[in-house]
Amino acid sequence: MQIYKVGGAVRDRLLGIPVTDIDRVVVGATTEEMLAQGFRPVGADFPVFLHPKTGEEYALARTERKSGRGYGGFTFHASPEVTLEEDLIRRDLTINAMAEDDQQNLTDPYHGQRDLEARILRHVSPAFAEDPLRVLRVARFAARYAGLGFSVAAETLELMRQLSESGELEALTAERSWKEISRALMEDQPQVFIQVLRDCGALKVLMPEVDALFGVPQPEVHHPEIDSGIHTLSVLEQSALHKQPLTVRWACLLHDLGKGLTPEEEWPRHIAHEHKGLKLIKAVNERFKAPKDCQELALLVGQYHTHGHRALELKASTLLELLQSFDVYRRPQRFEEFIIACEMDARGRKGLEQRSYPQADYLRGAASVARGVAVQPLLEKGFKGPELGEALKRERLKALKAYKDSAST
């Protein structure tokens, strides 16, 4: 029995970055031998075991064969005869197909170290094209390591293009797709993930609503970058630069989908794109079964982001309606994330990345004023039920008018 560290643990050590997860593969062992040593089996698909003391995962070396469509369409074979090289060849990228023993002796049959040095993401074997999930994984690795100068090898991008055109991507489950998408959006350069998907034709399969934004112009006076797709990538980039949570990044990706529906004769204007985009945002949310908080914020940002940009001009009554829509009294954090998404949208414009966004503090102040209206004096006046709600609304409107007047002087 021989045990090796494999995959990301080896890759990241060679890159000189912190190793977070350690995967181990066991060569020359049977399930019975693992159980006899106290390892506990987990998972039904292939033999993975937990170490009796550390709880870390150890997998028996295995081969795999395509047996159906999609990510799950594989049969696995694990036995003591499977070699380390046979186990490594089934992996996606050469930089993930290296192994090392306890003395850090490297086994690198597919030249992963060479590709690490060349900053290339390259597939290990033609079997890469059998697993559609690898399209998303490679794009995610491109987003993770773009800052180190990595790019996707031309021949790997071509295989990803073939996979995108094959219909295999449609076989991915919403859960598997969302897992990759959400992880990719939290990488340092999530816009690279979207760009790589577009480069290989996967974006128009997975998110045609986002793909449709590319080539759609916007008024240059407001958007020096002009192209709606480029703007979306820039907004996503800003959200990562400012370390925003997944909810904000997802909303940034989907906020302008309505612009993809604007008839060409109306370009570069996009009248009512906020409202038009809601059905598209809802469709993308449902396609990937995004978490509820991501879904809600994306829809609200899509509908109201231009309200955010025009905050200083809004009438007090419109401002109150905006606050009510977000339920700022019970869910203040959601409104804060909306404000942040609006700021990322404003910064995601060519040459305007550093421009101040006074709307943010103005909206925060308005929310604070509305929340500060006390209910007790109204109760003491005898208001109750629907009448109490209306009285509270009137008092909040009065407070917002005073806030707006003081802000403009």
In tens, the pLDDT along 18-62 reads: 998 899 999 999 989 999 999 999 876 668 999 999 988 899 998
Number of residues assigned to the chain: 409
DSSP state of 200: T
Do 99 and 83 form a contact (C-beta atoms < 8 A)?
Answer: no
**Could you report the per-residue pLDDT of 220-255, keeping only the tens digit for each?**
999 999 999 999 999 999 999 999 999 999 999 999
Cβ–Cβ under 8 Å, residues 135 and 92: no
Q: Which two tokens stand for residue 84?
A: 């380390």
Q: What is the pLDDT of residues 364-382, one digit of tens each?
A: 999 999 999 999 999 989 8
CA distance 123 to 368: 53
pLDDT tens across 88-110, in order?
A: 999 999 999 999 999 999 999 99
pLDDT of residue 69: 54
Cβ atoms within 10 A of the Cβ of 380, count? Answer: 8
Percent of the chain with pLDDT over 70: 96
Query: Percentage of residues in the chain with pLDDT exceeding 90?
Result: 87
The bridge status of strand 23-27 relative to strand 2-6 is: antiparallel
Q: Hey, where are the domains in the chain? A: 1-110
> Count of H helices and E strands in the chain?
20, 11
The Cα–Cα gap between 361 and 358 comes to: 6
Three-state DSSP state, 185: helix
For 333-365, what is each residue's pLDDT tens digit?
999 999 999 999 999 999 999 999 999 999 999
Residue 21: predicted pLDDT: 84
Predicted local distance difference test score (pLDDT) of residue 88: 95
Residue 167 pLDDT class (50, 70, 90 cuts): very high
Please give the CATH superfamily to which domain 1-110 belongs: Beta Polymerase, domain 2 (3.30.460.10)
Q: What is the number of other CB atoms lying within 10 angstroms of the CB of residue 45?
A: 9
* C-beta separation of 211 from 200 below 8 A: no
236-270 in b/e burial notation, b at 16+ Cβ within 10 A?
bbbbbeeebbbbbbbbbbbbbbbbbbbeeeeebeb
Q: Could you give the CA distance from residue 251 to residue 338 in angstroms, rounded to a whole number?
A: 9
